[in-house]
Structure formats: C-alpha cells, structure tokens
Amino acid sequence: MNTEIKEILKRSQLSVTASREKILHLFLEEAGALAHGDIEKKAGEKFDRVTVYRTLQTFVEKGIIHTIPTVDNSIRYALCKDNCADGHHHDHHIHFVCSHCKNTYCLDDIVTPEIKLPKGYSSAHIEVVVEGVCKNCN
Amino acid sequence: MNTEIKEILKRSQLSVTASREKILHLFLEEAGALAHGDIEKKAGEKFDRVTVYRTLQTFVEKGIIHTIPTVDNSIRYALCKDNCADGHHHDHHIHFVCSHCKNTYCLDDIVTPEIKLPKGYSSAHIEVVVEGVCKNCN
DNA sequence: TTAAAAAAGCAACATTGTTGCAAAATTATT
DNA sequence: AATAATTTTGCAACAATGTTGCTTTTTTAA
C-alpha cells in the first residue's frame, strides 16, 4: 500500500500491518472525523471489531489521531496535522460539527481562544466545538 | 420532599414522582455535573435503569438540565441555572473538567467567546470545555 | 531462515442504551 | 373523596458498544 502510510507508522515505531494501513488510509482520504462505527463500515468488514478498537487506541497514544468531544455519545477521531508527541497532543485548533451533513471537521487554522478563569482555577487544555452549517452545506 | 423541587417539576409541566424528585434533588445538592452512572449509584439503587434514562431525557427536553460534551465517552448532565425553554437551552457558559478530582463544573459567569470561522461556515452554537485543576484541588 | 516480539482474531463477558408492554402511580374529573 | 384518564414505572428482552484473556498468525529482528 501507500508509502506515506508506511512511513507514518514507522515514524511512530509501530509495526506495519494490514489493519493499521487500512485504517490510517481511511483517515487520510477522509476530510472529516471518523467514529469507530464509521471505520468498521468503511473498512469493508475485513477486520475484527477488537482490532479496530485497539488500533484507534494505539493511534491516539502515538499521536497520529486525536479524539474530539461531542455532545452526543460518540467518540470521533481525526488525524493530527502536525506530529504530536506520544500521548501529548499539541493541537489547539477548534472543531466544527455540521448540523446538516453531520460531519465533524478540524478547523486547523482557527486557534482556541484564551479563556479567563475564576480565581483558583488553572487551565491545561481548552476544547472548542462549534456547531453550525459547514461550507459544503451552506 | 422539598417544595422547591416540586415547584420546578410543576413549572415544567411534569407530574411529580418519587424518581424525578430524587434525581432532581441529586442535581440540586451536587456542585458538579453528573453522569448517568453517578445517578444510579447515588440514588441508592432504588430506581430502574430505564427510569433514570427516561428521567434524564425528560429533564433535558424540559430545559431543567443540559448535557456537557466530554472527550471520553460519558455524557454528563448539569442543572440549567436559568430556566431554559423546552429544548432550547440558552446557556452560554463554559464547562470545566478537573483533571484531579474528575469533577465537571459549569462556570456560569464565564461566557463562551466569539469565534471567527472561515468563509462559508455559519455558527449556531459554541461549546467550550476547559481542562485543568479546579479551585478545590489547587 | 529462524527466533522473539507484536498484533490479530476469537470467544466470552461487561457495560450502556433502547423498546414494548403490563402494572402502578399521578393527575384531572366528577 | 372516589373514579376515570393519563402518565410513569418496572420488567424483560434486546441491541450496540466496549473490554479482557488467550491462542494463532504476522511482523520484525537476529
């Protein structure tokens, strides 16, 4: 399969396997974020559910993908644009959920704003999720 | 039980039942947000799981509580400070998740910032979740 | 090519959430 | 205050989602 994919895996010190290649490929060709279920469907039911779970977990740990908070109960994953150090995602972009097409996008160029917290609170990380209508649906 | 609780329920045109009183009571005495599981435990296993699910759903619809997005896969609920119209939550505060005590708080006085979106995107709602260390743990 | 290490697949299980329906409780009506 | 109508509860059964241990297979290193 694609050489780029193999390189991403090797750079993260992961052995190159069919499922990892396939799943990473799905993220690379997909503009939006993917939930576990999406991946199972798109992968063409080749892989065991457990393998998908473990692969996603590994990718998050290695900083290849990151999770996106949602109001409904589905974890969504998207590619990290820059390489994140193992487990330390230094992405500070915001996320956009389209209420029409239901896709979730990373808006990589929009940086999370600073938030003034009340006294006594210290901030380590800020997540911003904007809901609305996306470019394609507008 | 408490008269305030009965009034909140009646104001929302809900019949007053033991489970609704109990669950609403839990929210009123709890500073932070509650997940479905928390409620089942704190309620003293008196109520059926299904009843808890349905009660939470009803409370959200009636604008008594609102959901909070999380990075992990747990929906959390918190009281709406002002009365929200049925299904239309007009809260614009941010949420704070303490990485130490794991509690989630509504910071009612901190309003969500404006976000400049790329061309073609329109925003309907903004969610901000800050992760850090809270007042009590600092 | 072979040995060691890592990952995949399988089975079984745990948790979480949903639906339909009968029994019980609440509310509205007389 | 008693009854009828409505709503809610609890139960059972099910569906979806996520987890764990272990064996087989694949990948990597020697």
Please measure the distance between the N-terminal and C-terminal CA atoms of chain A and give it in whole angstroms.
36
Q: Is the CB of B46 under 7 A from strand D?
A: yes
Alpha helix positions (H), A12-137:
18-29, 36-42, 49-61
Q: Do A70 and B69 touch (CB under 8 A)?
A: yes
Note the CA–C1' distance, B15 to D1, in angstroms. Answer: 21
Q: What is the DSSP letter of B116?
A: P
Whether residues B99 and A124 touch (CB distance < 8 A) is answered with yes
Residue in this structure with the two tokens 């996106």, named with its chain if needed: A68
* pLDDT tens digits, one per residue of A2-33: 889 999 999 999 999 999 999 999 999 988 89
Burial class for A102, CB neighbours closer than 10 Å (0-12, 13-18, 19+): exposed
CA/C1' separation B84–C11 (Å): 48
With CA of A53 and C1' of each nucleotide, the nearest comes out as: D18
pLDDT tens-digit readout, B116-136: 999 999 999 999 999 999 999
Query: What is the length of chain A?
Result: 138
- Tens-place pLDDT, residues A35-94: 999 999 888 768 999 999 999 999 999 999 999 988 777 889 999 886 666 666 666 899
Q: What is the pTM of this model?
A: 0.88
Nearest protein residue to the C1' atom of D7, measured from CA: B15
Token digits of residue B103: 């509690």
A118 vs B2: CA distance, rounded Å? 31
Distance from the Cα of B2 to chain A's closest Cα (Å) equals 31
d(CA A130, CA A69): 11
